[in-house]
Chain A
Amino acid sequence: DAKTTQPPSMDCAEGRAANLPCNHSTISGNEYVYWYRQIHSQGPQYIIHGLKNNETNEMASLIITEDRKSSTLILPHATLRDTAVYYCIVRPRSGGSNYKLTFGKGTLLTVNP
C-alpha cells in the first residue's frame, strides 16, 4: 500500500468547515483514497473514498488533486461530535486478495465550541 502523510493534529471551530489534508505522492493508478475516522476508542468509521473525481456524501466531501498526489477531506460544518482521529488510506478498491487497511497515525481533529 502507498504511504500517506497527514498532520498529527488540527483544530477547528464548531460550525466552520474542517479541511483535513493528506499527501499520497506514491499512489498507484489503481489505488483509491479512503478516509476513516475513529472517535475515542470506538471502531473506525468509514467516511468516503474516491479515485480521481471529487466525491461528496452525507458526511463529507473529498477533493483529490489532478495529479492524485494529495487530497483533502472536508467536513462542511464541523460539530463537537466530529472530534476524532481521521485516517487517510490508499489501497485498491477491489481485485487481488489482500484488502487490508493500513492505518497510519492519522490526524487528531479537535472541534472547539
Chain B
Amino acid sequence: DSGVTQTPKHLITATGQRVTLRCSPRSGDLSVYWYQQSLDQGLQFLIQYYNGEERAKGNILERFSAQQFPDLHSELNLSSLELGDSALYFCASSPGGSGGNEQFFGPGTRLTVL
C-alpha cells in the first residue's frame, strides 16, 4: 500500500460524458502527478501540481483539466469523452521540493468509455 488513494476504482460511461477522478496523496506529500496508461501509448505523464499550483504539463488534452485543493487532494476532470480515452489513470504523489521526488502511485482508476 503506497498511501495514495484513488476513487473510483472503475468507471464506465458513454461518449460525450464528463467524469471526475479523485486522488488523495500520501500524508505530507505536496506534489501530485497524473498519468494515463493506454494499451497503445503506455504510461504517459499528464500534469503535475505542487501545493495547489500547476507545475508541469505533459500530453494532456484540452478536454482534460485538473486541480489540487487546499487539503492537497487532486481531481482530474475529463470531458467530451471519446472511446480513445478509455485507459487506466494513475495518480502519484511525492514530497516535492527538497524532500526528494520519488513518486508513489495509487492503484489507479480504470475508465471505460462506451
Q: Do A and B bind each other?
A: yes
Residues of A within 8 A of B (CB): 34, 38, 41-46, 49, 87, 93-94, 97-105
Of chain A, the residue at the smallest CB distance from B4 is A43
Contacts of A45 in B (CB 8 A): 2, 105
Is the beta-carbon distance between A93 and B42 smaller than 8 angstroms? no
Contacts of B98 in A (CB 8 A): 94
Is the beta-carbon distance between A99 and B56 smaller than 8 angstroms? yes
Of chain A, the residue at the smallest CB distance from B2 is A43
In the bound complex, what is the Cα–Cα distance between A97 and B31 (angstroms)?
11
Is the beta-carbon distance between A98 and B56 smaller than 8 angstroms? yes
In the bound complex, what is the Cα–Cα distance between A52 and B63 (angstroms)?
42
Is the beta-carbon distance between B108 and A49 smaller than 8 angstroms? no
| Residue from the list B44, B58, B108 in contact with A41, Cβ < 8 A | B108
Contacts of A94 in B (CB 8 A): 97-98, 100-101
In the bound complex, what is the Cα–Cα distance between A84 and B62 (angstroms)?
33
* Contact A43 B56, CB 8 Å, known A94-B97, A100-B33, A102-B45: no
Is the beta-carbon distance between B55 and A46 smaller than 8 angstroms? no
Of chain A, the residue at the smallest CB distance from B101 is A99
Contacts of A98 in B (CB 8 A): 48, 55-56
Of chain A, the residue at the smallest CB distance from B107 is A43
Of chain A, the residue at the smallest CB distance from B106 is A43
**Do most interface residues of chain B lie in helix, strand or loop, or is the interface mixed?**
strand
Of chain A, the residue at the smallest CB distance from B45 is A100
In the bound complex, what is the Cα–Cα distance between A11 and B95 (angstroms)?
35
Point out which of A42, A45, A99, A104 has the most chain B C-beta atoms below 10 A from its C-beta.
A99
Contacts of B43 in A (CB 8 A): 38, 44, 87, 101, 103
Contacts of B100 in A (CB 8 A): 93-94
| Residue from the list B45, B88, B97 in contact with A101, Cβ < 8 A | B45
Residue B104 is within 8 A (CB to CB) of chain A in the complex:
yes
Is the beta-carbon distance between A103 and B104 smaller than 8 angstroms? no
Contacts of A43 in B (CB 8 A): 2, 4, 90, 92, 105-108
Contacts of B42 in A (CB 8 A): 103-105
